[in-house]
Amino acid sequence: MAATTVVAGRELSNPPSDGISNIRFSNHSDHLLVSSWDKSVRLYDASANVLRGEFMHGGPVLDCCFHDDSSGFSAGADNTVRRLLFSTNKEDILGKHDAPVRCIEYSYAAGQLITGSWDKTLKCWDPRGASGQERTLVGTYQQPERVYSLSLVGHRLVVATAGRHVNVYDLRNMSIPEQRRESSLKYQTRCVRCYPNGTGYALSSVEGRVAMEFFDLSEASQAKKYAFKCHRKSEAGRDIVYPVNAMAFHPIYGTFATGGCDGFVNVWDGNNKKRLYQYSKYPTSIAALSFSRDGRLLAVASSYTFEEGPKTNEQDAIYVRSVNEIEVKPKPKAYPNPTA
């Protein structure tokens, strides 16, 4: 059985006042960007536990990401894609979708911003252009359904939508998907995250499962794919199953954390099909997870995701925990000693 720790991590002061939609560490520092249903995007220095900036939008903010340490981007339920300038606390509008913007990712490989919306489109933007949709929009790409989750690795983009569709694109040729797939899980997709080594992606569902998939369509590669159950418990002889809301890959070891509506964060070794660690239970659902660029810190958003409808719930909180190597480093396989 995997070990359990007792410390939740350091709780950040000045948290959002409503549900947390995402948390993202910077690729350059320990700065943390947080989007929330309270219409805010907050910038924290996670190491110093200091709120560095706050941006208020016209509606709930469903996602956010960094450009660099001086600017970032946000995706709003008001259909708007914004650029945020941290030093001046100013923002400008890059453009709009026809429905709420659910996901946002910045591609360092392509120098483009990618947004996915409930209007069933993906849009690519060049933020170097002057502000305004006609000058920054690179292209609009129809999707089979509402976009729920996006993930990037190198020039590859994975788009997970309603209806269990998964499209894989090469950002250098967005005219058609490189691959059109269907989720191997039977229930609605919650989150997709690419492996840091670029060979595939993990996909989680509302029904306590994660699928491990590979881009290479050869028989040998496809034979390696599998799915596993997680974030569930047995009570009075029946299985209680929780949505897996969040996943985050460790940047050094390639192991990954999952967060569920059961309030638990588990760390997995996907290659060896093992759970490495389970952290002690958080106050409520895990809404989002992010490892820092060097893998030393893990940010955990404990925030009720309304999977049981409106009810009295714990206050939304962000915990930043120091990661011990034993929690995330794959254990070497034990081989029998031939001389024994």
The count of domains in the chain is 1
pLDDT at 5 over 90: no
Residue 4 placed within a domain: no
Q: How many CB atoms are closer than 10 A to CB 79?
A: 18
Write out the E strands in 37-128.
40-45, 50-56, 61-68, 71-76, 80-85, 90-96, 101-107, 112-117, 121-125
- The pLDDT value recorded for residue 312 is 73
- The pLDDT value recorded for residue 265 is 98
Residue 5 placed within a domain: no
- The pLDDT value recorded for residue 58 is 93
Q: What is the pTM of this model?
A: 0.93
Residue 82 placed within a domain: yes
Q: How many CB atoms are closer than 10 A to CB 282?
A: 21
For range 43-51, the mean pLDDT: 97
- The pLDDT value recorded for residue 59 is 96
Residue 251 placed within a domain: yes
Residue 268 placed within a domain: yes
CATH number at 69 reads 2.130.10.10
Average pLDDT of every residue of the chain: 93
For range 285-294, the mean pLDDT: 97
For the stretch 114-172, pLDDT in tens is 999 999 999 999 998 765 666 789 999 999 999 999 999 999 999 999 999 999 999 99
Which range of residues forms the domain containing residue 126? 10-307+316-324
Residue among 138, 132, 137, 203 at smallest CA distance from 168: 203
Least confident of 218-222, 236-240, 269-273: 236-240
